[in-house]
A and B are shown apart, each in its own frame.
Chain A
Amino acid sequence: MTTNYKLAVDVGGTFTDVVLFNEQQRKLHFTKTPSSPNDPSKGVINGIKKIMNIAQIKPGQIGYFVHGTTFATNVFLENKGSKVALFTTHGFRDVIEIGRQKRLKLYDLFQDKPSSLVDRQFRFGVRERMKADGEVLHTLNEEDVRTFVRIVKENNIHSIAVSYLHAYNNPLHELRTKEIIKEEFPECHISLSHHVSPEFREYERTITTVVNAYLKPKTSNYFVNLEKKLEQINVKVPYIMKSNGGIMTMREASENVIQTLLSGPVGGVVAAGFIAEKLGINNIITFDMGGTSTDVALIKDGSPQITLESRLKNYPLKAPMIEMETVGAGGGSIGRIDEGGLFKVGPESTGAVPGPACYGNGGENLAITDFNLLLGRIDPEFFLGGEMNLDVEAAIKAQQKLLEQSHLPADEVSVGMVKIANHHMAEAVRLVSVRKGHNPEEFTLFAFGGASPLHATAIARELGIPKVVIPNASSVLSALGFLVADIKHDFTTTNLLSLEIANLPRIVNEFNTLEERGKYLLDKEGVMLENQELRRSLDLRFKGQAFEINVELEEQDDQTNLENISRNFFEYYEREYGFCDRSQPIEVVNYRLSAIGLTSEISLEDYEELQLEPPEEARKHKRSVYLFSKEQFEEVEVFYLDKLVSGNRISGPAIIDGLDTTIIVEANEEAQLDRFGNILISLGKGLSS
């Protein structure tokens, strides 16, 4: 019996996607089953059973398994986390309530701060103190800790966040506190700030730790539960997809729950990067348009950009994540006209229920899906491969109100709304590219997620992106990404030093400590030495500044390398901020190490490029569609995606209908199916946006 099957399961809000890859035959199976929101592990098990059935394999043949889950994300977004107690330095228990003392909105007299997640009576000030340099000023008062743990236990709280001042520099007191909690209350969940987010700035570190503590009991419970169920069907414990684009063991995921917050969406970015590499493309922008929002990320020279602080529900979370811009514009975003007569799209969405007006569930709001339908860009009888019929009449009826408000012809209203949605999405693309100093003309847009292909070329055109790729299996792309992700652990320390030769030994020393920790973890996970990779980087700034730029380090630490580092810093700085005075001294703030365990490559099935001309059976019929390239409706030919063979070339204007997506090839565009089943669209020049 061969064990060379790789399995990936991605639990989304509506569907659980399952991908199975046979390494020998290089064959990819995929399927979807409905998710089971109350207990997502059910959907996971169903999906695994279903795919094993499709591929006709036994559980023992699955040699590798990665799971991505938005479990923690949903608990967070729906405010369903557990009660938390906070142990912090005496005198500072309100840091999480004061936050950064700033109002989120300037003129709203009724606004609220994001909840501090811990009732004030359960924020405990422990007598202890570290100095900024990590020296102990006051030793830990262990009696304080014991007294507080007992109160926590009496109040039936099962999760404690521990965050002491300067613990990022010396975790001694946090570690000892953990031991005491373990003695007094062994079953309590514990989150330590130096472990969750080992960086200075007490509010950000503490709230990140508190959020971790808030999500931990339920999430680790889910993992335990899943483990049991997998045991019953004999499938091994999975790795868990991590927000930084890597994977981690389930045990680590249960500890560092915060690292799973982007577990689902990053899979798509990793997969797109993988496919791009196969196609020999280094620089891509991913464009994942869902129902309520669109996620955009940038991959430069093969690596996704990582951000070290993200904002979720107005909490600044300090955890490395693939940098994504999210805009509140998706297929379900509502288009309306405001009291001043302006067209607005989103961020309000019709949601799954009632959904866009054309779902026929009584929805009175028009969503982007409706406008696409009214413009003929979606076939009402072939939505989701014909699984669902759309109600054009309902959409037309719902549009009346907008027509009365705007005094414009129906088509113009629909075109306007789609254009504004495109503008919002293009703005997100601009934020990850232009704003970071990257020229979009040097990138390829990877569009996946149901509605993306309807909008991708318009967005590409607005930004001067010359090429769009719609990857094969685009609807399960995230799961595919799980299979190609590596193990990835991130480590950080803080120590402010000038970037100069005299400090080199100290800089090297910081990295040596981190490397030891990284290697230890990889060894523990059984990663062979030849598959271990350690990537070092420095957070740098001009001395006196407060925000840093992350610069990757190369192998050598000699003087030439210091010059390289400075040069890379200057160049990045100038790109990002428009002006750079290179005479200023540079300061090192954080030392970062990514310890990577490379997983074995998967190689996708590929075909010979057979023929340019699409086969006759791929030609469906003709349909009238609004073309943005010609600013009018036109009858164009429709092709069946699953009847096309590799090499087929289609000149726009044309429509390609797939089972889960519709691709509009505009005039002056040309689409081609490649050897891997991806569709490449080249944009012609001289088009208006």
Chain B
Amino acid sequence: MIAANINPITMEVVGHSFMSIAEEMSAALQRTAYSSIVREALDFSTAVFDQNGNLIAQSDNIPTHLGSMGGTLKGILKNHFTQAEIFEGDQIMINHPYMGASHSPDILLFAPVFVEGTLVGFCGSMCHHVDVGGIAPGSAPGNATELYQEGLLIPPVKLYEKGKENQTLISIIRANVRMPSYTLGDLRSQISANEIGKKRVRNLYEKYSIKTIQEIVHAWETYSENRIKSKIKTIKNGIYSAAGHLDDDGVVRNEQIQLHVSIEIKDEKMIYDFTKCAPQAKGPFNVTEETVNAVAYYITRCVTDSSVPQNEGAYKPIEVRTKKGTILNPHFPAPVSGRYHTIMRLSDICLEAMSKALPDKIPASSNAHATTVAIGGHNPKTDDYFVYYELNGGGMGARPTKDGLSGIDVHVGNCMNVPIESAELEYPLLFHTYELHQDSGGMGEYRGGLGIIREIEMLEDHLTLTTRGDGETTNPKGFYGGLDGRPGQKILNRGTEHERRLYGKTTSLIVKKGDILYFETPGSGGYGSPGKRPKEKVIQDYKDGYISAKAAKEVYNLKFED
């Protein structure tokens, strides 16, 4: 499969080097980052590109960013800076969702790499910043109705030109974000990553000629493309569909947002048709095209070959169709900051569709979104503004051969939690509970993974609480006889006279000292009929408290003393 003129050994060595450069950039970014969303949750990516913006290698952090950086860079090269306008020492910045970026908190930074005066490529990093301004702390207002409410918009501009910092730009950023020390700190981390990458890429070009490397990059693309194609070919041709929905769009409450996919397997191609999705939403759950692509790339790798190197070739067998004016391809300036929740749900639906083609390879429905909690306000420990931000995982659906995983982030996400001891050291918060939620995993021959319960007490007055929760009105589906899992919910001051159920997408609620936020994240679906689960496994589940005596009796007909 390798072109005759390419030495397979050099190809392996050079390819491996590019991949480790992307990983090395990622390590530098994480270790120097300021905000917990970057350093703990790992909501960032790093990558190396050729001089035309084609992806050569990307760090494996979070699938949401798959493929999107290359598209952004190509757009910049096409519409904003020609190669002649790019110099050694530049750092080009963008976050504008309608100019190629994803949502405003994601700032991308690209640094050109020159070898003996010739532009040979770019190193890039993309990072979710904890706040870029707008109407709510964390720049993710669940009730935004236009892009301008979601924070500062940055078209392609140079943060550094020829090694010189653009201080005007820095001043504008500083004046527009809630926690400039974090935003500017994380930008410095992005520069670190790009600088480390540049150095390593240059070293590589010292050993091999530009021509050799270009040939090898091309050979790797062909390699990835062929590997994916050969796996698609093993799936039966046909059109596989599934549908689902979001609870609502955060603005128009109690009105579900319909999502739909038809995946066509056509010999060596996978065509994702999302054109039947709902019209664009009033609230911030719209998704721009680059980000929709990430879902297709992610799903394709899950159902074909997870070990294929990430590059432009891996995307070639994939086609994505969306319709302008729908939630997956909205008109400017529709808000998009909640797009993550939409593509999590979309991923789940795509897997459900593929389960019809590959019933033995796809898990039941998962906790297909991230329960995000942002608490902000004045921190007496530092006498400064703080934002605690966390994405909570839940259950991963039961698999055709084993139980699902509990308390895990799934699909296009893969964010870590923030250590409680770290959060309590830094913020005026006290955690009461962080446990798995009994009975939230759908019963079945294989049990779905469990969701999480968390309780957080406010230690200061006048804190602002913003949550993003979906999947509170629907159950994660069980497959092939497996039962559904439990949805999530949020309650303020549970078990007290002030108890109140919170709306899933609560924005900027003022909470006071002593208030306790309680929430459950969704579990996931079971797989196969519960009757097929061996008795000893049910007994073990009961002893371990993954299921209650009630569930054991009602579902499995096993009686235990409670």
Contact = CB atoms under 8 A, between A and B. Distances in A.
B199 A578 contact: yes
Contacts, number: 188
Contacts of B28: 576-578
Interface in A57-111: 91-95, 97-103, 105-111
Interface stretch (A2-10, A235-243, A506-514, A539-547): A539-547
A97 B545 contact: no
A97 B436 contact: yes
B546 interface: yes
B196 A340 contact: no
Most chain A CB within 10 A, of B196, B424, B455, is at: B424
Contact of A91 (B401, B422, B435): B435
B417 A93 contact: no
Residues of B in contact with A, size category: 35 or more
B77 interface: no
Contacts of B420: 92, 95, 165, 202
A410 B274 CA distance: 51
A132 B421 contact: yes
B521 to A, nearest CB: 10
Interface string A258-298: 00000000000000000000000000000000000000000
B162 interface: no
A195 B354 CA distance: 50
B227 A339 contact: yes
Interface stretch (A416-424, A452-460, A676-684): A416-424
Given A91-B433, A97-B436, A109-B362, A577 B419 contact: no
Nearest to B24: A435
A105 B223 contact: no
Interface string B415-433: 1110111101100001111
B399 interface: yes
Given A98-B436, A131-B424, A577-B32, A200 B419 contact: yes
A120 B544 contact: yes
B421 A202 contact: yes
Contacts of A416: 8-9
Nearest to B14: A423
A119 interface: yes
A384 B420 CA distance: 54
A202 B406 CA distance: 18
A439 to B, nearest CB: 12
B20 interface: yes
Interface in A115-139: 119-121, 131-132, 137
B175 to A, nearest CB: 19
B78 interface: no
B421 to A, nearest CB: 4
B57 interface: no
B235 to A, nearest CB: 15
A488 interface: no
A343 B433 CA distance: 50
B545 A102 contact: no
A630 interface: no
A406 B11 CA distance: 14
B410 interface: yes
A423 B20 CA distance: 12
B39 A547 contact: yes
Contacts of A577: 28, 31-32, 189, 192, 196
B420 to A, nearest CB: 6
A581 interface: yes
A67 B20 CA distance: 38
Interface in B225-240: 226-227, 230
Interface in A487-535: 496
B370 to A, nearest CB: 10
Interface centre among A106, A113, A579 (most CB of B within 10 A): A106
Contacts of A342: 2, 8, 11-12, 223
Interface in B1-20: 1-2, 8-9, 11-13, 16, 20
B545 A120 contact: yes
In this complex, which of B298, B361, B401, B421 has the most chain A Cβ atoms within 10 angstroms of its Cβ? B421
Given A98-B417, A98-B452, A544-B34, A132 B546 contact: no
A669 interface: no
B544 A101 contact: no
A577 B33 CA distance: 11
A172 B8 CA distance: 61
Contact of A103 (B192, B230, B410): B410
B191 A579 contact: yes
A116 to B, nearest CB: 10
Contacts of B42: 102
B234 to A, nearest CB: 12
Nearest to A430: B20
A201 interface: yes
A539 to B, nearest CB: 13
A588 to B, nearest CB: 13
B185 interface: yes
Interface in A404-426: 406, 416, 419-420, 423
A135 to B, nearest CB: 12
A577 B28 CA distance: 6
Contact of A92 (B32, B399, B430, B433): B433
A631 interface: no
B11 A339 contact: no
Contacts of A91: 431-435, 455
B253 interface: no
A474 to B, nearest CB: 28
A247 B433 CA distance: 40
Interface in B168-183: 181-182
A427 interface: yes
A338 to B, nearest CB: 9
B306 A108 contact: yes
A686 interface: no
A579 B306 contact: no
A101 B545 contact: no
A344 B452 CA distance: 41
A28 B251 CA distance: 81
Contacts of A341: 1-2, 8, 223
Interface string B301-339: 110001000000000000000000000000000000000
A432 to B, nearest CB: 13
Contact of B302 (A107, A132, A343, A581): A107
A103 B414 contact: yes
Given A102-B416, A165-B421, A547-B30, A109 B196 contact: no
A203 interface: yes
B363 interface: yes
Most buried by B among A94, A111, A420, A547: A94
A107 B544 contact: no
Contact of B434 (A92, A108, A406, A435): A92
Interface string B204-229: 00000000000000000001001100
Contacts of B8: 341-343, 406, 416
B188 interface: yes
A154 interface: no
Contacts of B525: none
A340 B32 contact: no
Contacts of A105: 306
Nearest to B454: A91
Contacts of A573: 32
12 contacts: A91-B432, A92-B420, A92-B434, A97-B436, A102-B408, A108-B306, A121-B544, A342-B8, A423-B16, A544-B181, A545-B31, A579-B188
Given A107-B302, A578-B196, 15 more contacts: A91-B431, A94-B436, A100-B417, A103-B414, A107-B63, A109-B361, A109-B363, A120-B546, A201-B421, A340-B2, A341-B223, A416-B9, A573-B32, A577-B196, A579-B191
Interface of A: 91-95, 97-103, 105-113, 119-121, 131-132, 137, 165-166, 168, 200-204, 339-344, 406, 416, 419-420, 423, 427, 435, 496, 542, 544-547, 573, 576-579, 581, 584
